[in-house]
Amino acid sequence: MPQQTINLGTPPSGTDGDTVRTALSKCQSNFNELYASPVFTGNASVSGTLYCNGGTAQIGASSGTYRSINYQGIVTTSTPTIPGQAAMTLALTTSGSYGGGYGLVDGSYNIGLYSVYGTLNIGFGTGNGGLASKLTLTPSGNLTITGTLTQSDYRLKTVMSTVDRIDAMRAILGVRPVLYTMNDDPTRRAVAGVLAHELAEAIPHAVVGSKDETHQVPRIDEQGRFQCHATEPRYQSVDYNSVFVTLLAAFQQLVGDVEALKAELRGLMLPQDA
């Protein structure tokens, strides 16, 4: 409904303008329109707090490729007790195979967090060009990156000791390599690896967590109300970098043993003095 303007009439008396009833009726109509669904065709300024309780706040443009909100910061507050349950602090919802994303623009550099067919991607680009994915995380937990994974600068570390090569040999012989499939992988792809609790017996520092460990987590409903506590598994993880270094030390010991045997064999093959 267009804005209803009161006809004040000709000054000073204004007798040819709207009656009191008509003027109040126009005020009431304008108020009802604003109360039902306020629409701003120009700039709107709110000096206080703007609340949206129980409804949907939608900000967008009627046309154009991009819809944006210009603000120095957006702060949301919630009290989640379980990740991924109840209300999310901030969510972007889109349709189609290419999901919503979070973009960071730093000068001519673009950084984006977005989804493609349910796979999480982090990409980088310049100017207005597309983003080149540098990190991909699938729903089954497979992570792919295009660069290096672990920082190894000496300035980040405090060396405790050198890995004992003989101990490393014994540890590696105590590891059972297995072929397995992940229970949540629908493709049932075979993977070579180890079982964390078995590895912990041979190389304890390569395993985080304990076998069959659990923890208590609260359950809440959609309104954020506590329902009960539930027991969930706390899974062990393996630091395969520690396994590799242990294998490296064992290999060095093996090479040393082979060289010693070769030297001993050469000595046995030399002509003996009569």
Q: How confident is the model at residue 249 (pLDDT cuts 50, 70, 90)?
A: very high
Beta-carbon contacts of 265 under 8 Å, excluding residues fewer than 6 positions away, are none
Higher pLDDT, 218 or 167: 167
- 133, 152 Cβ separation under 8 angstroms: no
Placement of tokens 């300024």 in the chain:
45
pLDDT value at position 180?
96
Q: Which fold has domain 154-269?
A: Arc Repressor Mutant, subunit A (1.10.10)
Placement of tokens 């000791």 in the chain:
161
Least-confidence region, from 51-65, 211-225, 260-274: 51-65
- Which tokens in the block code for residue 186? 């629908």
Residue 29 has pLDDT above 70, yes or no: yes
pLDDT value at position 185?
85
Q: Is 179 left (phi over 0), alpha (psi -120 to 50) or beta?
A: beta
The residue extents of the domains of the chain are 1-42, 96-149, 154-269
Q: How far is residue 168's CA from residue 174's CA, in Å, rounded to a whole number?
A: 10
Q: How far is residue 239's CA from residue 128's CA, in Å, rounded to a whole number?
A: 39
Least-confidence region, from 167-171, 174-178, 193-197, 268-272: 268-272
Higher pLDDT, 84 or 108: 108
Q: How far is residue 229's CA from residue 217's CA, in Å, rounded to a whole number?
A: 6
Q: Mean pLDDT in the chain?
A: 81
Least-confidence region, from 5-9, 27-31, 149-153, 184-188: 149-153
Please give the model's pTM, rounded to 2 decimal places: 0.59
What's the one-letter identity of residue 14?
G
